[in-house]
Amino acid sequence: MDFSPIYQALFSLWYLIPIFIFATVIKSAWFKGIFGELIINTFAKWKLDKSEYHLIKNVTLPTEDGTTQIDHIIVSAYGVFVVETKNLRGWIFGSAKQKTWTQQIYKHKTKFQNPLHQNYKHTKTLQALLNLDEHQLHSVVIFIGNSTFKTDVPENVTYGMGYIRYILSKTDPVLSPSQVVEITQSIESGRLERSFKTHREHTQHVQTIIVDKESQQYCSKCGSTMILRETKKGENKGKQFWGCSTFPKCRTIKAIN
């Protein structure tokens, strides 16, 4: 049997291979991270004066329980801006106090950790490292990608280049020029080496946290965490159930299967 026509047909479609590889890469979390970093870097270099604002990228710092990774840190006389980037599409629902936010694409809904809470750990880690007061640090969350906020969000949760406006809105100096230099040097010296090993170990730490969080129960009504409670009286005395942690504000309960 002559296979040459089949080989010729396959060879004629060789150009589809790089297209397939490219399509796979641009959908990966790695590419989204790189793309998000590129956008933030470009906006910062374009709109922020380099002599006043010092950009430090992809900082991994040691913590008591592992590591924490900060997308961007911008140091200036107007404070240290701790930047968390989210590359998401669809509708975004959430408020400052909710533990989880919701991403909706058509009828599909996905919950993710409140990025303000996520960035809180980053900010506190830096605060301890640099021995700064709370007013000297600013938490900033940036959404990029084709996403739309469907609920009111705080001013420090921004979309695209909106984070530049937020940073420039801080006009009262809270750090001296010498402090800016010292802080920048402290971050550079305190960060873990930028390497594949550092990234891998941090990823493993994050995966452990995700597994722990997946076992956590959340209130179907308000999104708060559920905690194990025990019936104190009646025929079900001693029986455990999940109850909303905000009780009595929220009285949602869930039976244990």
Per-residue pLDDT 10s for the chain (257 aa) are: 554 565 455 555 555 556 555 445 445 554 555 666 777 778 888 899 999 999 998 888 877 667 788 889 999 999 999 999 998 889 999 999 898 999 999 989 999 999 999 899 889 988 988 899 999 999 999 998 889 999 999 999 998 889 999 999 999 999 999 999 999 988 888 775 544 344 444 344 334 433 344 456 677 777 677 777 777 777 777 777 788 877 878 878 777 76
For residue 195, the model assigns a pLDDT of 40
For residue 75, the model assigns a pLDDT of 96
* Residues sharing a CB contact under 8 Å with residue 130, sequence separation 6 or more, in sequence order: 80, 183, 186, 187
Q: Which residue ranges make up each domain of the chain?
A: 15-214, 226-255
Tokens representing residue 256 in the block: 């244990």
Maximum C-alpha span of the chain: 83
For residue 41, the model assigns a pLDDT of 77
For residue 207, the model assigns a pLDDT of 40
Q: Strand 79-87 and strand 66-76: pairing? A: antiparallel
With helix as H, strand as E and coil as C, how does 107-176 read?
CEEEEEECHHHHHHHHHHHHHHHHCCCHHHEEEEEEEECCEEECCCCCCCEEECCHHHHHHHCCCCCCCC
